[in-house]
Amino acid sequence: YWYLSFVLATCLTAPGRTQETPDSTHQNPEIHEQTIYVPYEKLQETFERTGRGVYLPYEKFQELWQAARQAQPTPQPPESPPAKALITQIESEAFVRKDVMQVESTVTIAVLADGWIDIPLSLADSAILSATIDGEPAKLVARDDGQHLLFQHSEGADQTVSLKLTFARSFDQTPGQNSVSFHPPLAPVHRWLVRIPETQSKVKVFPMLAATENPDAESEGQEDVEDDSEDNASSPDHETRLLAFVGATPTVRIEWTPKSEGATGLDALVSVQSQTQVSILPGTVRTVSQLNYQISRSELSQLTLMVPSDHRVVDVVDPNIRAWNVAATDNGQQIVIDLFQPANESQSVRLELEQFRNSATEDSELVPPQVVAENVGRQRGVVVVRLADELRAETVRRNGLSQLDASELDATLQKTNWTFAFGFANPDYDLAVRVETVEPSISVRQWTELSVEPRQLTARLLAVYEIRRTGVFDLSVNVPEAFEIVQIVGSDAGQGKTPVQVDSFARDTADPTLVNINLSAKAIGDVGLMVHIRRTLDDANLLSPTGEATTLDIPQLKVADADLERSEGWLTLFAPEGLRIRTNSTVGLQNAAIEQNAASQQLPKPNAVRPIQSFRYGTATYSGVMEIERRQPQVTASQRLVARFEPGVVHYQATVAYQIRYSSVPQLRLDVPSSIAESIRVEPGDLKETSISPAPEDLSTDYVAWQLTGDSELIGTKRIQLTWEQPLTNLEVGKSLAVAVPRLIPEDVEQSSGQIVLVKAETIDILPDGTPTGLIPIDPNHDLEDGAKIPDASAALEFHADWQLSLQVTRYQLESLKQTSIERAFIRAVQTE
């Protein structure tokens, strides 16, 4: 092998610098030389072996070294706890010592770190009597937020520290109640045992998550409760105990009230304040009585009430009521009420009664029920009576009662409009009222529209009710039996009235012409109702003009008069113009102006009908007969013929409009000159033309008769538009030619009229050839029918009968003239050869 020899001084001096000490900067560095042989043949085979070294520049070595250090994870120090120590639970026992309440607490502290530990204890405004840890005095420091406990914990010591605290505070004394507040240390579990040196005292702890008045029974068998006092083994007879759990709270308030034993051997002294609400409804009397007992001197564990025997006891309500029973006696019904806890100060009872009354006794004397509390010293109160809107009452007897004004009632009672209000000082009062059913006061204004059509009769009724005094749940209308009821709905009558809410309707079984309407809600005030009925007709006299009349009765569609105090109505007949209607034999109908009815309502009407006659009627029934006849068809024709004269040709455009009224016709007839019949073009439209063969006998000479038909029988306005051309041969410049305007003749019409409009080019002049027959000149700019506008119209003529028109057409050539300008002058220039 051949080797190359290199002297690399920097390879040895660079590692030497990494080992320098601070003093080496003052010494001359020693340079070492070393010979390194690098094989240039089989280099890969020589170096890629175990134990072989690789040499690289110092800068590259530093780069790899720093990258390796950064990639190596930095060891994290162990995480310290969020607190060095905390209070896990506290057990406190509070007892009364003369004018103060003393508390002995055992505070359990969990130590989480070593060193000095500071635990806030609060205890503001409390006197600390002692504080020990393992029998040794504890170190307490007073700060602004209260007392703090300081102690030092060494490594390896017990992780749980028990602090014994004794503190006290004077309690507030008020008549019948004592109270005291403490600011204890905060702990998630804090259990208080409160001992009051009096039996049957009422003890309350605020806040209180849970409590028991027999702590010894609850804690029996629990191993975690440590209490060395012999008093905890059983509750002494001379004190009251309460075990309460309050949790972590900054303030604990304790209240206790000695329980009064009352007058030993004496009965309870009871007074009752009652409030009886009587609601008299149709068929039902509902009573709610609220009795508030005031009890002194002793307790009551049972209450007794007396109620009338003709009322059913529905319910007796109060949270302290355990059970109640009803027993019949000679004086009525006795209700015995058992309480959960004996009442010693107050007790409330809510009593609900119900009585059903049949229709036979609806209008009769009624005695509101008396609710009497037995075994009480005094009972007083109020009795209020409320009646339904459809009832009215007056007092028959009133003994032992004084009438009250609404302002004298309690605020809760003033919210209701009571019919009667009385006060009593003794429950032995006598009250009776006579109840009567109030009949509603109903007035109605109604509008009936009867539309007579060839195939059906349609009638609509709009009724506006004025219902006063009381509401109704049903209405009635008269509908002829032959008519089908299409719809009965509520309507605002176009006047802002309240639509009635119709639930159902049906014809009366006894009287089929009477329709009973049931409402889903009470109707009272100004309400609206709409009734729509229909009858199908199949009469040949109404479908085609036979010349004979059909007789039909005027249907009576109106509000039933049975329960009405006042009624007024209007009846209007509507019909298409093709029917002629005559009324006769009318009873209960008076002629009225059509405008009076049409302006008072918003009823929909069939198309193509018009009012023909109007009547007025009252509460009585009405009747009448209609004679209906189909009118003969009336056909009129109007046409517009436009002739446009141009050099060499005349363009004609004719529009014939037929107006068919009253009855339809199967076809129409139009006679056209035979000279142009072949060249006439019929534009697509309402009518189609065919030649009549054989020709009618009344056809004029040189004319062809056309029959005009449509897809169905013809009624209303029908139009046909025709166009054709007439050449002007041999009309040279300066020459004239006579042209006869062709005439179209509508036949079998009652009236024919039209207009002829002449339009010419600038090189054409037209003048009448002789005297026109049956034509009247008109202004083409203003007098054309339907406001038509034809630009460049030079003349127009109008006809209403047979006519004849011949024109002299002259052709000119346009020549340039000398220009001139003269104000208000007419210039005629004549050019000669």
Name the pTM for this structure.
0.55
What confidence score (pLDDT) does residue 232 get? Answer: 39
pLDDT tens sequence across 750-778: 999 999 999 998 888 889 888 889 999 99
39-43, 133-137, 341-345, 781-785: the lowest-pLDDT one: 39-43
Give, in order, the Cα–Cα distances in Å from 223 to each of 219, 226, 227, 665: 9, 7, 10, 116
Region 42-69: mean pLDDT is 72
- Per-residue tokens: 668: 């129409």
CA distance 382 to 410: 10
- Per-residue tokens: 298: 């002793």
**pLDDT beyond 60 at 235:** no
Burial 309-331 (b: 16+ CB within 10 A, else e): eebebeebebeebeebeeeeeee
Q: Coil, helix or strand for 326?
A: strand
Of 470, 289, 280, 288, the closest CA to residue 365 belongs to 280
Computed from CA positions of residues 684, 685, 691, 697, in that sequence, does the dihedral angle turn out positive or negative?
A: negative
pLDDT tens sequence across 98-142: 889 999 999 999 988 888 889 999 998 899 999 999 889 999 999
Asked whether the beta carbons of 448 and 572 are under 8 A apart, the reply is yes
Of 346, 345, 326, the closest CA to residue 337 belongs to 326
pLDDT tens sequence across 276-318: 999 999 889 999 999 999 998 888 899 999 999 999 999 999 9
Of 761, 760, 762, 793, the closest CA to residue 778 belongs to 793
All domains of the chain in start order, with CATH: 3-71 (no CATH), 85-257 (2.60.40.1730), 273-437 (2.60.40), 441-630 (2.60.40), 634-811 (2.60.40)
Peptide bond into 694 cis (omega under 30): yes
- Per-residue tokens: 787: 């406001």
- Amino acid identity of residue 117, one-letter, is I
Q: Which residue has the tokens 């009251």?
A: 240
What confidence score (pLDDT) does residue 735 get? Answer: 85
- Per-residue tokens: 432: 């009776």
- Amino acid identity of residue 357, one-letter, is R
Q: How far apart are the first and last CA of the chain?
A: 137
CA distance 45 to 3: 15
What confidence score (pLDDT) does residue 282 get? Answer: 86
Region 65-81: mean pLDDT is 74
At residue 90 the predicted structure's pLDDT band, cuts being 50, 70 and 90, is: very high
